[in-house]
């Protein structure tokens, strides 16, 4: 900040030449006086006494330095709004301070939500820091799902809000491998922002045991074939003799 992109105090606009009658306050001291005021909120009288400067001098110096700091740093630290942030839902142009798009939505458990077969599915999505509060919809296979519950929380600044949506699905209404999307939108982001999870339903092995050849005759060699379907996949098979337990 001190040199305003290597332009020195002159480019920052707070360096002045001495006159024939008095020595000007150095740029470093001008900046110190201004920062002291911004950091402490002390009165001009107190700051003037601390720096041995006139009260009227301090009262004129601080606004000048604040303006110089703004001019020096605005392009670097003040984000330039995108077209979506400036444009309202009806196509008009609005002030960036009027609407704020939500943060990217977040689904608990992202990117894969696992549950046991037969359990209900509860998905929670939140979209924060929006003005006005974001609206959230749930989408599966291109269709909007109904039945979600919503809540909104006003943030400490009294302007932005966070939205939380919870979707409940019964076991008969979900399949493993499905993709479910949470879409958050408001006037600052009319096209919405998406987060998607994949549903992973886990179930016990379904075992199929076959014997060859058929029919089984006493004294003949037989071959057992064991197969199983499960999620997660079966990684180990073991044959046990029921009489010996081995």
- Can you give the pLDDT at residue 44? 87
Query: Which of 113, 101, 110 shows the shortest CA–CA distance to 191?
Result: 101
Find the mean pLDDT for residues 221-242: 89
Instruction: Please tell me the pTM assigned to this model.
Output: 0.55
The closest alpha carbon to 117, from 168, 54, 171, belongs to: 171
What pLDDT, on a 0 to 100 scale, did the predictor assign at position 1?
A: 43
Whether the per-residue pLDDT at 59 is higher than 60: the answer is yes
Specify the pLDDT at position 95.
Answer: 46
Residue 93 tokens, joined: 């142009």
> What is the predicted pLDDT for the residue at 112?
93
pLDDT at residue 94 in the model: 47
Q: Give the pLDDT confidence of 105-121 residue by residue, as tens digits.
A: 999 998 999 999 999 99
Q: Rounded distance, CA 96 to CA 80, Å?
A: 10
Task: Look over the chain and give the mean of its residue pLDDT values, rounded to a whole number.
Answer: 84
SS3 call for 147: coil
């Amino acid at each position: 900040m001190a040199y305003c992109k290597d332009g020195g105090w002159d480019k920052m606009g707070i360096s002045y030449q001495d006159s024939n009658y008095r020595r000007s306050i150095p740029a470093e001291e001008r900046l110190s006086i201004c920062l002291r005021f911004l950091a402490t909120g002390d009165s001009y009288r107190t700051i003037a006494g601390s720096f041995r400067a006139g009260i009227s001098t301090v009262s004129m110096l601080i606004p000048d330095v604040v303006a110089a700091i703004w001019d020096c740093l605005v392009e670097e630290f003040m984000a330039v709004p995108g077209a979506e942030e400036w444009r309202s839902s009806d196509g008009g142009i609005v002030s960036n301070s009027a609407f704020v798009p939500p943060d990217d939505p977040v689904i608990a458990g992202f990117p894969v939500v696992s549950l046991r077969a037969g359990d209900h599915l509860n998905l929670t999505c939140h979209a924060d820091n929006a003005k006005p509060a974001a609206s959230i919809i749930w989408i599966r296979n291109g269709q909007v799902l109904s039945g979600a519950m919503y809540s909104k929380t006003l943030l400490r600044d009294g302007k932005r809000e966070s939205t939380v949506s919870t979707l409940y699905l019964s076991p008969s209404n979900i399949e493993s491998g499905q993709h479910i999307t949470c879409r958050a939108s408001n006037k600052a982001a009319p096209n919405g922002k998406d987060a998607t999870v994949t549903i992973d339903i886990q179930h016990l092995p379904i075992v199929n045991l076959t014997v060859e050849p058929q029919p089984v005759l006493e004294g003949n060699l037989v071959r057992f074939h064991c197969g199983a379907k499960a999620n997660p996949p079966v990684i180990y098979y073991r044959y046990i003799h029921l009489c010996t337990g081995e």
